[in-house]
C-alpha cells in the first residue's frame, strides 16, 4: 500500500483494507487506539438517561445481527434502509448490518413518501429499519414500491397507536417487531451467521454505506463508487469538490476508515489534542448525513481510534447547553429538524 503523508512530514498510520467498519470500530486494536475501559459509557441518551458501554455495543450488535440473519435472511450485499432521527441505537444498527456483509442506506426521516419511494427503488432496498415516528410514511413508501410490510421493523419500542399504509390498511404500531426485542432474541439463540471476513484489499471496493445527496440540484442521487481517502475528504465537505457531493455518496469500508484515521491524526499532531478521555460530544449533526456519521459517531466517539468519548444524543439542544452536559459541539450552518 502506498504511504501517505500529512503536515510536518508525519507518516499516516496503517489503514486496514481487510476489515469492515464494524470490525474497525468494535474489534480493532489500531496503533492510535488508547487503552479502553469496557465499562466507560460511549453513548448517553439525555432524555432517558440510558447509557451504552463499548462492551454493551459489541454484545447488542451481535444480538441484532444474529436476529436479522435468522429471522429475515439479511446477508451479503443486501441493502437495508435506516430511517431515523439521532438515537443511541443508530450506530449499533449500522454495525450489525455490516457484520452480515450487507450495505446500509442512511435516509432523512423528514422525507415524504414519494421521496422515500424514489430511494427504495434507486438503491434496490430489500429491508427497512425505521423509527416509530416515521412508520406511517415508511409503510406508504414501501407500498408504492412493492416492499412487503413484514420487511419493516422498528428501531425503538413502539408506543400504542395506529398507522396506515398506501392502501389505507390500518396497523397497530405495536404489531411491528422492534430492535430491542430482536436483540434479546438474537442473544438467546445459537449463532446463525458467519461474520463476513474481507480479503486483503477488498475493503477498498466493498460498499459500506449509501448516503444521499442534498437534492438541491434535483432528486437526491446515489451510486456505487468506492472512494479513496482523498475522495472521501471531498465527500464530507473538505475541499472544493461540490460536484462529487451532489452526485454520489456511496462509501467503501476502507474509505471511511481511512478518513477516521486521517482526521484523528490531524487533530493530535503538533498540538495538544482537542479532546480528552471522557469528554462529551453533543450529537446534533444528523447521523443520516455523511458528515454527522463520520465526525460525530465514528471520529469523536471512535473507541478504536481516538478515545472513548461520550456521545450525547438529544432532541432539546438548549436543555443540554444549560445543563452543561457537553464539552464539544459539532454544528452546521443549517440544521434539519430531527
Q: Where is average pLDDT lowest: 38-47, 224-233, 288-297?
A: 224-233
Q: How many CA atoms lie within 13 A of 2 on its CB side?
A: 4
Distance, CA of 88 to CA of 45 (rounded, Å) = 7
Distance, CA of 293 to CA of 211 (rounded, Å) = 10
Distance, CA of 115 to CA of 113 (rounded, Å) = 6
Distance, CA of 82 to CA of 269 (rounded, Å) = 35
63-90 residue pLDDT tens:
999 999 999 999 999 999 999 998 889 9
Distance, CA of 237 to CA of 234 (rounded, Å) = 5
Going from the C-alpha of 77 to that of each of 70, 207, 315, the distances in angstroms are: 16, 8, 33
160-216 residue pLDDT tens:
666 666 555 677 888 899 999 999 999 999 999 999 889 999 999 899 999 876 655
Distance, CA of 139 to CA of 299 (rounded, Å) = 33
Q: Do residues 30 and 24 make contact, with C-beta atoms less than 8 angstroms apart?
A: yes
Query: For a pLDDT cut of 70, what percent of the chain falls above it?
Result: 65
63: left (phi over 0), alpha (psi -120 to 50) or beta: alpha
Average pLDDT on 122-130 reads 94
More confident residue, 3 or 74: 74
SS3 156: coil
Domains and CATH numbers, the chain: 13-329 (3.40.50.12780)
User: What pLDDT is stored for residue 43 in this prediction?
Assistant: 82
Name the CA dihedral angle for 261, 262, 264, 266, rounded to a multiple of 10 degrees: 160
Q: Do residues 178 and 158 make contact, with C-beta atoms less than 8 angstroms apart?
A: yes
Distance, CA of 326 to CA of 286 (rounded, Å) = 17
Q: Do residues 305 and 294 make contact, with C-beta atoms less than 8 angstroms apart?
A: no
| Residue 144 pLDDT greater than 70, yes or no | yes
233-270 residue pLDDT tens:
333 333 222 223 333 477 899 988 888 888 777 766 44
Distance, CA of 252 to CA of 204 (rounded, Å) = 6
| Residue 5 pLDDT greater than 50, yes or no | no
Query: What is the average pLDDT score of the chain?
Result: 76
27-64 residue pLDDT tens:
887 777 666 677 777 888 877 778 888 899 999 999 99
Tell me how many helices (H) and strands (E) the chain has.
11, 13
Distance, CA of 157 to CA of 177 (rounded, Å) = 9
- Give the distance, in angstroms, between the CA of residue 55 and the centroid of all CA atoms in the same chain: 18
Q: Do residues 23 and 302 make contact, with C-beta atoms less than 8 angstroms apart?
A: no
Enter the C-alpha cell of residue 79: 441493502
Beta sheet of 280-283, edge-to-edge order: 51-53, 41-45, 310-313, 280-283, 328-329
Q: How many CB atoms neighbour CB 9 within 10 A?
A: 6
Distance, CA of 139 to CA of 200 (rounded, Å) = 40
The residues facing 210 across adjacent strands are 105, 250
Rounded to a whole number of angstroms, the distance between the first and last alpha carbons of the chain is 41
| Residue 308 pLDDT greater than 50, yes or no | no
Enter the C-alpha cell of residue 291: 458528515
Q: Do residues 234 and 244 make contact, with C-beta atoms less than 8 angstroms apart?
A: yes
Give Cβ neighbours of residue 78 (< 8 Å, ≥ 6 apart).
100, 102, 103, 126, 127
User: What pLDDT is stored for residue 47 in this prediction?
Assistant: 75
- Give the distance, in angstroms, between the CA of residue 54 and the centroid of all CA atoms in the same chain: 16
Amino acid at each position: 500500500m502506498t504511504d501517505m503523508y500529512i503536515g510536518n512530514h508525519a507518516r499516516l498510520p496503517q489503514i486496514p483494507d481487510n476489515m469492515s467498519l464494524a470490525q474497525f470500530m468494535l474489534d480493532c486494536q489500531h496503533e492510535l487506539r488508547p487503552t479502553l475501559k469496557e465499562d466507560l459509557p460511549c453513548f448517553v441518551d439525555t432524555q432517558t438517561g440510558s447509557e451504552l458501554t463499548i462492551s454493551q455495543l459489541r454484545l447488542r450488535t451481535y444480538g441484532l445481527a444474529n436476529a436479522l440473519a435468522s429471522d429475515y435472511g439479511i446477508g451479503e450485499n443486501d441493502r437495508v434502509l435506516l430511517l431515523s432521527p439521532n438515537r443511541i441505537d443508530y450506530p449499533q444498527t449500522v454495525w450489525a448490518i455490516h457484520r452480515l456483509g450487507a450495505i446500509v442506506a442512511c435516509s432523512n426521516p423528514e422525507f415524504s413518501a414519494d421521496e422515500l419511494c424514489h430511494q427504495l427503488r434507486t438503491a434496490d432496498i430489500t429491508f427497512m429499519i425505521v423509527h416509530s415516528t416515521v412508520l406511517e410514511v415508511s409503510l406508504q413508501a414501501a407500498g408504492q414500491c412493492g416492499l412487503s410490510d413484514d420487511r419493516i421493523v422498528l428501531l425503538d419500542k413502539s408506543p400504542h397507536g395506529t398507522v396506515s399504509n398506501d392502501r389505507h390498511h390500518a396497523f397497530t404500531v405495536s404489531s411491528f417487531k422492534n430492535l430491542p426485542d430482536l436483540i434479546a432474541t438474537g442473544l438467546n439463540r445459537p449463532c446463525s451467521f458467519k461474520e463476513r471476513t474481507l480479503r486483503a484489499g477488498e475493503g477498498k471496493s466493498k460498499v459500506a454505506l449509501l448516503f444521499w445527496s442534498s437534492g438541491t440540484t434535483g432528486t437526491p442521487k446515489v451510486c456505487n463508487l468506492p472512494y479513496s481517502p482523498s475522495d472521501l475528504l471531498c465527500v464530507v465537505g473538505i475541499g472544493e469538490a461540490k460536484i462529487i457531493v451532489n452526485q454520489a455518496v456511496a462509501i467503501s469500508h476502507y474509505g471511511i476508515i481511512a478518513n477516521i484515521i486521517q482526521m484523528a491524526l490531524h487533530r493530535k499532531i503538533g498540538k495538544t489534542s482537542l479532546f480528552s478521555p471522557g469528554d462529551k460530544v453533543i450529537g446534533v449533526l444528523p447521523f443520516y448525513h455523511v458528515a454527522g456519521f463520520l465526525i460525530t459517531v465514528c471520529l469523536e466517539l471512535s473507541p478504536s481510534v481516538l478515545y472513548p468519548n461520550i456521545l450525547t444524543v438529544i432532541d432539546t439542544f438548549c436543555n443540554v447547553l444549560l445543563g452543561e452536559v457537553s464539552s464539544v459541539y459539532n454544528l452546521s450552518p443549517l440544521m434539519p429538524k430531527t
